[in-house]
Amino acid sequence: MNPDQIRDASMLELFQMEAETQVQVLNAGLLALERDPRAAAHLEACMRAAHSLKGAGRIVDLEPAVRIAHVMEDCLVKAQEGRLLLEPADIDALLMGADLLLRVATPGIDLTRDIGELEARLSGQAPAGASVAPAAAAPVPVAPPMPLPAVAEAPAALPDEERVLRVTADTLNRLLGLSSETLVESHRLDPFNASMLRLKRQQRGASQALETVRALLSEQPADARLQAALDQALQIMGECERGLGERMGELDQFGWRMSHLAQRLYDTTLACRMRPFGDGLGVMARSVRDLGRALGKQVRLEVEGAATQVDRDILEKLEAPLTHLMRNALDHGIETPERRLAAGKPAEGVVRLQARHSAGMLLIEIGDDGKGIDLERLRAEIVRRRLSTAETVERLSEAELLEFLFLPGFSTRTEVTEISGRGVGLDVVQNMVRQLRGAVRVHQQTGQGMRFVLEMPLSLSVMRSLLVEIGGENYAFPLAYVTHALEAPRAGIEQIEGHQHLRFLDRHIGLVSARQLLQYDEPAAAGDTVSVVVVGEHGDMYGVAVDRFVGERTLVVQPLDPRLGKLQDIQAGALMEDGAPLLILDVEDLLQSIRKLIAGGRLTRVDAGGAVADTSPRKRVLVVDDSLTVRELERKLLANRGYDVAVAVDGVDGWNVFRSEPFDLVVTDVDMPRMDGIELVARMKRDPRLQHIPVIVVSYKDREEDRQRGLDAGADYYLAKSSFHDEALLDAVEDLIGKASA
């Protein structure tokens, strides 16, 4: 590439950067003019933006850009002079011109037809509704391309605070990583200072001991040489103590300065990565306007906290989830003008977007003043999809009901449109936010609108964490995933359906041993209380029992060596203040591991570390039933008789558990979601490795044809729940596999 080509490429790049900036001004101004066509300030801002782009196009010899900007400028000048009152059709055409200006510098794109259409719409014709007939516009000569200024004629240097330097993202990331490590290293002086203080106390104790010896020697005649040596030792100890005190003072000041400078270095470096929240909203207001018009709705976007500083990487990854939520607000939430007026609302709906910092986290809220969610319709949809029973759904709180909106494939729309109804959206939003180590909460008020709150860290390079000890090692829970941390009395732990539960916020949550999750063999030491970290949300909340709490820390996230692959339940690594390594837990993975343990009936007691030892092996029974009551009844009956019992909540869970663990017998229901008992039995009998294992079917269906269907599938016993009694099940079990102990 010759120097002229390099120069041209550089100038085109500069034009594209300027076009992006000026088009943001045009979009914002044109949307404001749509509401108030006579707003002089917005007319002036748009005219200047078009004029600037026309001049920039001439400099880089980009004739199509000059034509686009010129016809837009001419239209805006007419509006300024009162010869034209801008109407929605004019705004549409001007926005079309703004879009063309972003594409005009892209190589290989022919915009001749689009530019001709734009010129036809904006010049030479009076749009319908113009207040004054426009005069014939005099042709404006297009000046020849302006030559590039020589280096000697370059304008005076900008002030230092206005200079812009190009730095690669990789360089900036490395700089932030180094400043983060510096911040952590500066904290290592704190424990060093503490150790020096202990040394000073020990030295003072030694001096006091020598003083005691001298006092004892003074009570009786002693060797003069011994007395002199003792006095000299006391003098040296005193000098050492004074010197140590002075050095400790200097070290304390040095540590304070280092910590202060490291914090300033990190804050300054982080600021280089930060961008105003408004920078990521360049097309948001335009999208709200265009989509609203396509849906026949009047909507405006209100933004608060546009100047809030956001990490560049987070800001880039927020575009997709915010777009999903905005489209949902317009399609699902905001009503048509007629319905809004009938409900006593203004015809124009409002979508509000707010960003702010709170407690070291970034909070972004997006809400609307639409109709909100019909909770009864939501309940009916949950039952229709067999996600829960009608009885359970009626007992769910509003917050628990709204969590179903985040399930994959879930939608309350009855018809599919280009915008929604396919069940894709909110689950994507949740996944994207979780990738940013954040969480999503939803609030609504029927008839008044919905509000989504996205909570994320300020930066992805550091993480506020709760440090705990498990099996003698330190681990970190990201605070964004921690609902609560508490010391629970061991006496308050309850046993429900064979699993330990804890009473928390007026509800029972499952209690899981962190030692079991991380595969430690030794049991935790028993005490009067249990340290519990509560993770998850609403119906998917669990308490993870750890050995003890260490404290809250800000950790620099250190990615693990890619050669290790994805470690189960581990997200990344970090260093303590003293340089000791620790692992940061992946809470999403932990929740998946907990669900698998529950489905397999393999949870152990938090103070047992593993299954309770037995002198003789016990026979294992798998109980598969979607009814909690029936499942627990059968489990207790068999466990009290001495059998080792695991449970599964439906046929799919039962099949997965059955294939992964050895069992001597299966007890299954028939009617279950996802896979019924007959299909489960049939699958077992088709598998050569499993077909020898006996099966008992327990069902409410007690007709002869139902019984025959179960036996034909391969069941060894078919018990009807209507005539079911304890001994019938126990007798059948003993008949098939004998007593519990081998």
Quickly count helices (H) and strands (E) in the chain: 22, 23
* 71 touches 122 (CB < 8 A): yes
pLDDT attached to residue 533: 93
User: 361 falls in which pLDDT band (50, 70, 90)?
Assistant: confident
How far apart (Å, rounded) are the C-alpha atoms in residues 216 and 220?
Answer: 8
pLDDT attached to residue 419: 52
Which bin fits 479, alpha (ψ -120 to 50), beta or left (φ > 0)?
alpha
Sequence-distant (≥ 6) Cβ neighbours of residue 223 within 8 angstroms: none
pTM exceeds 0.85: no
Alpha helices in 165-297 (DSSP H): 169-186, 189-218, 224-273, 284-294
Sequence-distant (≥ 6) Cβ neighbours of residue 474 within 8 angstroms: 467, 468, 550, 576, 580, 582
Min mean pLDDT across 252-256, 545-549, 721-725 is at 721-725
Longest dimension (CA), the chain: 125
Asked if pLDDT for residue 204 goes beyond 90, the answer is: no
Amino acid at 109: I
pLDDT attached to residue 374: 83
* 538 touches 570 (CB < 8 A): no
Asked if pLDDT for residue 134 goes beyond 60, the answer is: no
Question: CA geometry: angle at 564 spanning 461 and 471, to 5°?
Answer: 80
- Higher pLDDT residue, 404 or 141? 404
User: 397 falls in which pLDDT band (50, 70, 90)?
Assistant: confident
How far apart (Å, rounded) are the C-alpha atoms in residues 335 and 12?
Answer: 44
Task: Pick the closest to residue 175 from 458, 461, 436 (CA basis).
Answer: 461
pLDDT attached to residue 254: 83
How far apart (Å, rounded) are the C-alpha atoms in residues 463 and 479?
Answer: 8
Amino acid at 477: F
Residue 221 DSSP class: -
User: 2 falls in which pLDDT band (50, 70, 90)?
Assistant: very low
Task: Pick the closest to residue 621 from 520, 569, 672, 693 (CA basis).
Answer: 693
In DSSP terms, which residues pair with 394 in a beta bridge? Answer: none
User: 3 falls in which pLDDT band (50, 70, 90)?
Assistant: very low
Question: Can you tell me the mean pLDDT for 343-348?
Answer: 90
Question: Can you tell me the mean pLDDT for 315-329?
Answer: 84
In DSSP terms, which residues pair with 143 in a beta bridge? Answer: none
pLDDT attached to residue 607: 63
How far apart (Å, rounded) are the C-alpha atoms in residues 471 and 603?
Answer: 18
The pLDDT mean for the chain works out to 78
The domains found in the chain, sorted by start residue, are 3-146 (1.20.120.160), 173-275 (1.20.120), 282-457 (3.30.565.10), 462-599 (2.40.50.180), 620-737 (3.40.50.2300)
Amino acid at 507: R
pLDDT attached to residue 469: 92
Q: What is the pLDDT of residues 704-729, one digit of tens each?
A: 777 888 888 888 888 876 555 667 88
Asked if pLDDT for residue 501 goes beyond 50, the answer is: yes
Q: Directed axis angle between helix 169-186 and helix 224-273, to 10°?
A: 150
Question: Can you tell me the mean pLDDT for 319-346?
Answer: 88
Question: Can you tell me the mean pLDDT for 41-52?
Answer: 88
pLDDT attached to residue 475: 94
User: 549 falls in which pLDDT band (50, 70, 90)?
Assistant: very high
* 727 touches 687 (CB < 8 A): no
How far apart (Å, rounded) are the C-alpha atoms in residues 509 and 537?
Answer: 11
How far apart (Å, rounded) are the C-alpha atoms in residues 77 and 83?
Answer: 9
Burial, 540: exposed, middle or buried (Cβ in 10 Å; 0-12, 13-18, 19+)? middle
Burial, 629: exposed, middle or buried (Cβ in 10 Å; 0-12, 13-18, 19+)? exposed
Q: What is the pLDDT of residues 604-623, one digit of tens each?
A: 777 654 433 343 567 889 99
Asked if pLDDT for residue 468 goes beyond 90, the answer is: yes
pLDDT attached to residue 498: 61
* 103 touches 128 (CB < 8 A): no
